[in-house]
Amino acid sequence: MPYRCRTANWRYAGVHLAPDVRTTIVVHCAGRTRSIIGAQMLRSLGVLNPVFALENGTQGWALAGLPLVRGSTQRDTASVAAHADDQAAAARVAERAGVPLLDVRQAQDWLDDAQRTSFVFDIRSAEEFAAGTLAGARHAAGGQLLQATDQYIGVRRSRVLVLDDEAVRAPVVAAGLRCLGFETAVVDGGIHAALRLRSASAFKLPALPELLPAQLAAWVARQAPLLLDLQPSMAFRRQHAAGARWALRPRLHRVVPAPGSGVRAILLLTSDAALAQLAAIDLREAGWSDLHWASIESWLAAGLPMASTAGVPADADAIDYLFFVHDRHEGNLDAARRYLAWETGLIAQCAPDELAVFTPDELRPAHIHI
């Protein structure tokens, strides 16, 4: 019987759910990456059971013609405290990977170093994070952080501090990041360490005037601005301000004319104020000065006209959307095949210097052969 495991630590979870060491444990996700990570971590932590990752996850299962259960809420709900043996096993995994354990002073030195960027992640569950964490820490589920580092760590050669509250999950996730080439450490005390993180206010973006519903219609009528919609491409297709042009920040230059071309003002439409502010930086550098933003919700509330365009932006322009990804779990087997071919081909796209930072063998105990 499959379970979605949410216990406090992975090693004891294996003992709890499969107390007989002869029981085979199969780890799966929707595709490949997290199941491989999970299976490897269980092995590295010393789980004695045979542990496998299900090749291609639920997509591979479906492609083999086997049925899937959908909408299940079943999960293991047992509360399992971290044991000293589990902490010792996690510490060994971290040590093998070269992950240092920093005291508060050392970790604060990382955070205060003006020459380096440091990210601080609480890798516990979202529910645990919501219940309380270190002020300023960001949440990132451990498996997601290892699978999609580019969505969380946006600065090359940055440092990463990984925190939990039981000294099991953080060392294991930090070991994975270290093997991916990130300078990573854990901190004595985890989320309870007396660290001072810089406030988000230290990174304020330049101000950008916002137009609210009460003033929006009159301003648009008076200024006749160029409307730039910064929504995701598929959201734009579904609904956008009538007459708006769709734009991504990397391609603003393709849709925005040069200043002096007859357009007096630009209105950025998005529900994300930070995105509007970042786009405004680019536009100011291009010579634009009369810039405002409004949320999509404000445009709707102002009663201004909306439109939808099934083919705009064109598929080739919608570089923010992988078409074969989004319905691969809904029975589109061709999409699943394309996705798996794309994922398994990623390593071949890496340059030698990119691959050189990986040290996966640091997670592999000497007595286990995979």
Q: Provide φ and ψ at 121, rounded to 5°.
A: -120, 135
Let me know if residue 324 belongs to a domain: no
Residues 157 and 103 in one domain: yes
Of the candidates 150, 251, 131, the one whose C-alpha atom is nearest the C-alpha of residue 191 is: 131
Q: Is residue 153 part of a domain?
A: yes
**Could you say which of 307, 324, 348 is where a domain stops?**
307
Do residues 194 and 89 share a domain? Answer: yes
Is residue 207 in some structural domain?
no
Instruction: Note the pLDDT of residue 331.
Output: 84
Together in a domain, 43 and 131 = no
Same-domain pairing of 95 and 186: yes
- Give the model confidence (pLDDT) of 142-193 as tens digits: 989 998 999 999 898 899 999 999 999 999 999 999 999 999 999 999 999 9
Helix-helix angle 84-97:10-17, to 10 degrees: 130
Q: Domain total for the chain?
A: 3
Q: Is the model's pLDDT at 340 over the cut of 90?
A: yes
Does 327 reside within a domain? no
pLDDT of 99 reads 97
pLDDT band at 31 (very low <50, low <70, confident <90, very high): confident
| CA angle 142–147–153, rounded 5-degree value | 80
326 within domain boundaries:
no
Whether the pLDDT of residue 8 is over 50: the answer is no
What is the identity of the amino acid at 290? D
Say yes or no to pLDDT of 127 above 90: yes
pLDDT at 368: 44
Of 307, 340, 361, the domain-final residue: 307
**pLDDT higher than threshold 70 for residue 202:** no
Tokens 């996705």 locate to 339
In a domain, 316, yes or no: no
Residue in 146, 155, 161, 154 with CA at minimum distance from that of residue 197 = 161
Report how far residue 162's alpha carbon sits from residue 122's, in angstroms, rounded to the nearest whole number: 6
**Whether residues 100 and 181 fall in one domain:** yes
Same domain, 77 and 108: no
Per-residue pLDDT of 130-145, as tens digits, reads 999 999 999 999 989 9
pLDDT in tens, 293-326: 999 999 999 999 999 999 999 999 999 988 878 7
What is the radius of gyration, based on Cα positions, of the chain?
Answer: 24
Q: What is the pTM of this model?
A: 0.75
Lowest mean pLDDT among 15-19, 237-241, 248-252: 15-19
Q: How distant is the alpha carbon of residue 55 from its chain centre? A: 23
- Find the domain containing 60 and state its range: 1-81+332-370
Identify whether 71 is part of a domain.
Answer: yes
CATH code, domain carrying 34: 3.40.250.10
